[in-house]
Structure 1
Amino acid sequence: MPNARKPLAGRRLHFIGIGGCGMSGLALVARELGAHITGSDAKQTIYTESLARHGVSGVVVGHDIVNVPEAPAEVVFSSAVRPENIERAEARRRGLGEVHRSGLLTEFTALHETVAVGGAHGKSSTAALLAHVLTSCGKDPSYVVGALLRPPGVHAAAGAGGTLVIEADESDKSLLNYQVHTAVVTNVDLDHVGDSGAYHDISDVAKVLGEFATRAKTTIVSAQAAEHLAPFVSEMTVVRPGLIDCEPMRFCLRGENYEVNQPGEHQLHNAALVVEVALTRGCTPDDIRAALLSFPGLARRFELRGRTAAGARVYDDYAHHPVEVDSALAAARQVARGGRVLAVFQPHLFSRTQQFQGGFLDVLASADRAWVEPVYPARENPEVWTHVAEQLAVDVADRAPQMQMSPGRADLARLLRDEATDADVIMLIGAGDVNTLAEDLVG
């Protein structure tokens, strides 16, 4: 370790794909720990903009061999950056070291007493809320979370309090490499089937999350997660918040009442886990209460983007699994207070759409009207998945008139601007670029 205060001092780290949420967070923390940071991404993102605001200047748009620094240096990459990437290939040619993002995060966990939040849904929201609460309570944690806090917050920081809060992603099982003091599991569900083929059923997920939990000194889980983890984890604290009738944003835990400022029952369960962890870290109930109410929320997590000219509220949510879509729509129904919920859903990945299509359409049926956009392909080739697109259109047509395929962004924007009233809520849902529709709706 170069020195106790700046353990990464002297290291030159070049992040390929620095515009992603996880990579940009690692870059911020590595910079604060003393490393010299450069990076590149195919396009500018909200995360590259955040890096620039916080003093990381060596970021370029576009991949090119000239971006790769001279030795001694290391390149940091995620699973989305393939070996044939021009900058990775150039780094190998020069003999530079390569570090997977999970490897760098593993290094961070060795430097701190780490609280890692795992689970299929709610990792970003729970980890970000925990980081905010600990910060507000004066614990000065380090943290790296996978979504951008709404201003004035950031999604990563190197604090001096000795605690590190991270997300523990089960998709590639890298969470098993981390040195974890406290494991938090929000829930157990099947995801990432098409992404990596790592899991065949929910029991596979439970085994991995169970191994993650048993490697930690302390395990704190939701009641839903406890049911799945019981065969694999002998000791765990199960958090069961008491929900309060007619007060949908308040709950009781350990004899104390708490309130959240984000709608949706799932937020109560996330917050209860945060309260439990914060209490173990020496935070007082009064300080926790104040911190919960000052949480700014996350970008693209039930984020209010504004109102249409007619007054309809427009929200954006990153949900891309049926359970998450269901939670987003339930939260929308809560804030609509009798108005209609108009949903626009953009499926993310053809493989995930194929796996969960029936579930997506079932939960979308809870909206008063829903429009389904074409699948956002991300890294998949649309020509290989034509059959999924065709079947999606057929199944959506079967649910008309309440549900239909989008007529196209411009036409859909006009339709929503004309149809939505000041009592309605418009929900833009998906992990692709459906959020950009807000720019055409908010007046």
Structure 2
Amino acid sequence: MLSFPAYCFIYFLGIGGIGMSALARLLAAQGYTIVGYDKAASPLVTQLQNAGMFIHFTDSVTAIPSVIRQHPTKTLIIYTPAIPSDSPILNYLRGSGYTMLSRAEALGSIVNHLPTVAIAGTHGKTTASAILAHMLYESTLAMLAFVGGIMHRYNSNIIYNHTLNQVQVVITEADEFNKSFLQLTPSHSIVTSIDPDHLDTYATVATLQENFKQFIKQSKQTVLVHAKAANQLQLTTHGYSPLLTYGLNNAVIQADNIRIAARQSVFDYIGDGVTIKEIILPLPGSYNIENALAAITMGLTLGLTEAHVRASIASFPGMQRRFDYIARNEKFVLIDDYAHHPAEIAALLSTVRHIYPNGCITAIFQPHLFSRTADFYEAFGTTLSIADQVLLLPIYPAREVAVPAISSQLIYDCLSCKTKILVEDGKLLTILPSYMRQHAYHVVVTIGAGDIGTMVPAIAAVLAQQLLQ
């Protein structure tokens, strides 16, 4: 299996992204020489370097490795849309005869000729993808999965259980940002949610919904849609692939007899003619039960047995930054989560409140993107106020240029929790101890899609020093 047989070298612009790094790992496994650029080092980039990939951090034409400059006809360029349009490297390569593909185009080229399950949604797609990927990895079906996060046990965002030339089914996330998911023509698809997001791409909710409808139309076989999303899109089975809905209620696929604890959820799967009782999912939260419903339904569609579903769900190892327990002791709990949309934060903090009704919940939130903050600052204020205390960090810009009128102050002004703190850049570890003294049990939740995940070890150390001595 060679995805791009005309090329020997592949140069990734933005190689450190979760989707780009997965492609780099796959193509390295196929024998290509992988070279990459990213704006900064990260733990994920270090993993790629340790795997033998050369990566540089300067956006300059002179920094382009000689092997790339010397072989323009044998080099394929794969770039992320997060690369600025005025990037010197990007513009040099565009003007120098190189073949260039966006990440979405490259992914489509790799998977569209294979039986594929594409999982889309403004939230939930990573967990649903990971659960399904783990279920299939544990089966005899030859599978390949691209997941938008790092899975515990596998320590990777790409997994496969046979040699790559034997792949029978591919699992991939289908990202709605920049309309990337429209590059896919999957065999089966899942839509987990369509709450408004990426309005910098779509401008209106109606346009976002029309693009999700187009994604569904491109699916060739089974389409599985969360009941709320199906209602928002006014979807029926008419004019689309065979369509099933799922959700906690008012859906074809439902959960019953639900019990949620600190480290797991237990439920009965009620499907279309199928019931699987007492499924143990090692993740808390009703929203994670819904993600599991989607994964289970697709697993059954692909031929997994009920017994296999039950056993593989129970052994799901979890993921980094998805209700990820970093510390848990007699004085405090530290949970790290990637939530970056108001609906995700509401689901996360409501689950935390359910599990720890008597704990003092402190949310440490780093807003992601100026555009998203401008669109949802009121909703962020409402959902974060589920916590008792909120420590609000500066906005993480990611691909965006700073907008002076948009700051974390907008969210701060909408908070109604007991304690709220606007944290200056770089001051979190200094001020954190002063908010960790007055309560018997602390539940600290780090939240955001930026670089807050890199701060978590230091936060854990501060909490341990303050509360365990």
Q: TM-score, normalised by structure 1?
A: 0.90
Q: Percent of counterpart pairs with the same letter?
A: 26
- Asked if 1:339 is matched to 2:342, the reply is no
In structure 2, the partner of 1:261 is 282
In structure 2, the partner of 1:302 is 323
Report if aligned partners of 1:307, 1:313 keep a CA contact under 8 Å in 2: yes
> Which of residues 213, 226, 236 in structure 2 aligns to 1:222?
226
State the one-letter code of the partner of 1:186. T
| Stretch of structure 1 that moved more, 67-76 or 245-254 | 245-254
State the distance in 2 between where 1:135 and 1:434 align: 30
Report if aligned partners of 1:312, 1:420 keep a CA contact under 8 Å in 2: no
Query: Which structure 2 residues correspond to residues 180-219 of structure 1 after superposition, within 5 A?
Result: 180-194=186-200, 196=201, 198-201=202-205, 203-217=206-220, 218-219=222-223
State the one-letter code of the partner of 1:275. I
Alpha-carbon RMSD across the aligned residues, in angstroms, is 2.3
State the distance in 2 between where 1:247 and 1:81 align: 41
**Over residues 46-78 of structure 1, what are the superposed CA-to-partner deviations in whole Å (9 max), with x where a residue is unaligned?**
32133245x342223333433341322121101
In structure 1, the partner of 2:169 is 163
| Stretch of structure 1 that moved more, 224-233 or 38-47 | 224-233
**Over residues 88-126 of structure 1, what are the superposed CA-to-partner deviations in whole Å (9 max), with x where a residue is unaligned?**
233234321111111100111223111000111111111
In structure 1, the partner of 2:467 is none
Report if aligned partners of 1:365, 1:403 keep a CA contact under 8 Å in 2: no
In structure 2, the partner of 1:23 is 20
| Stretch of structure 1 that moved more, 411-420 or 17-26 | 411-420
In structure 2, the partner of 1:57 is 53
| Stretch of structure 1 that moved more, 181-190 or 6-15 | 6-15
**Over residues 177-225 of structure 1, what are the superposed CA-to-partner deviations in whole Å (9 max), with x where a residue is unaligned?**
212100111112110113x2x1402x33222112211221221122222
State the distance in 2 between where 1:302 and 1:415 align: 25
State the one-letter code of the partner of 1:395. C
State the distance in 2 between where 1:13 and 1:224 align: 41
- Residues 291 and 246 of structure 1: is their aligned pair in 2 closer, same or farther, counting only changes over 3 Å? closer
- Asked if 1:236 is matched to 2:255, the reply is no
In structure 2, the partner of 1:100 is 102
State the distance in 2 between where 1:44 and 1:387 align: 27
For residue 298 of structure 1, report the CA deviation from its aligned partner: 1.7
| Stretch of structure 1 that moved more, 328-337 or 108-117 | 328-337
For residue 416 of structure 1, report the CA deviation from its aligned partner: 4.2
For residue 245 of structure 1, report the CA deviation from its aligned partner: 4.4
| Stretch of structure 1 that moved more, 254-263 or 7-16 | 7-16
**Over residues 164-188 of structure 1, what are the superposed CA-to-partner deviations in whole Å (9 max), with x where a residue is unaligned?**
1111111222212212100111112
For residue 81 of structure 1, report the CA deviation from its aligned partner: 0.8
Query: Which structure 2 residues correspond to residues 4-153 of structure 1 after superposition, within 5 A?
Result: 5-9=1-5, 10-53=7-50, 55-65=51-61, 66-68=63-65, 69=68, 70-71=70-71, 72-153=74-155
In structure 2, the partner of 1:276 is 297
- Residues 89 and 278 of structure 1: is their aligned pair in 2 closer, same or farther, counting only changes over 3 Å? same
State the distance in 2 between where 1:150 and 1:179 align: 29
State the one-letter code of the partner of 1:403. K
Report if aligned partners of 1:8, 1:34 keep a CA contact under 8 Å in 2: no
- Residues 118 and 11 of structure 1: is their aligned pair in 2 closer, same or farther, counting only changes over 3 Å? same
For structure 2, the 5+ residue unaligned runs are 247-252, 465-469
State the distance in 2 between where 1:305 and 1:245 align: 25
Report if aligned partners of 2:370, 2:406 keep a CA contact under 8 Å in 1: no
Report if aligned partners of 2:395, 2:407 keep a CA contact under 8 Å in 1: no
For residue 438 of structure 1, report the CA deviation from its aligned partner: 2.4
Report if aligned partners of 2:374, 2:406 keep a CA contact under 8 Å in 1: no
| Stretch of structure 1 that moved more, 403-412 or 252-261 | 403-412
State the one-letter code of the partner of 1:439. P
For residue 262 of structure 1, report the CA deviation from its aligned partner: 0.8
State the one-letter code of the partner of 2:289. L
Report if aligned partners of 1:357, 1:392 keep a CA contact under 8 Å in 2: yes
State the one-letter code of the partner of 1:81. I
In structure 2, the partner of 1:431 is 449
For residue 354 of structure 1, report the CA deviation from its aligned partner: 1.6
| Stretch of structure 1 that moved more, 295-304 or 44-53 | 44-53
For structure 1, the 5+ residue unaligned runs are none
State the distance in 2 between where 1:337 and 1:425 align: 10
Q: TM-score, normalised by structure 2?
A: 0.85
State the distance in 1 between where 2:168 and 2:363 align: 43
Report if aligned partners of 1:113, 1:163 keep a CA contact under 8 Å in 2: yes
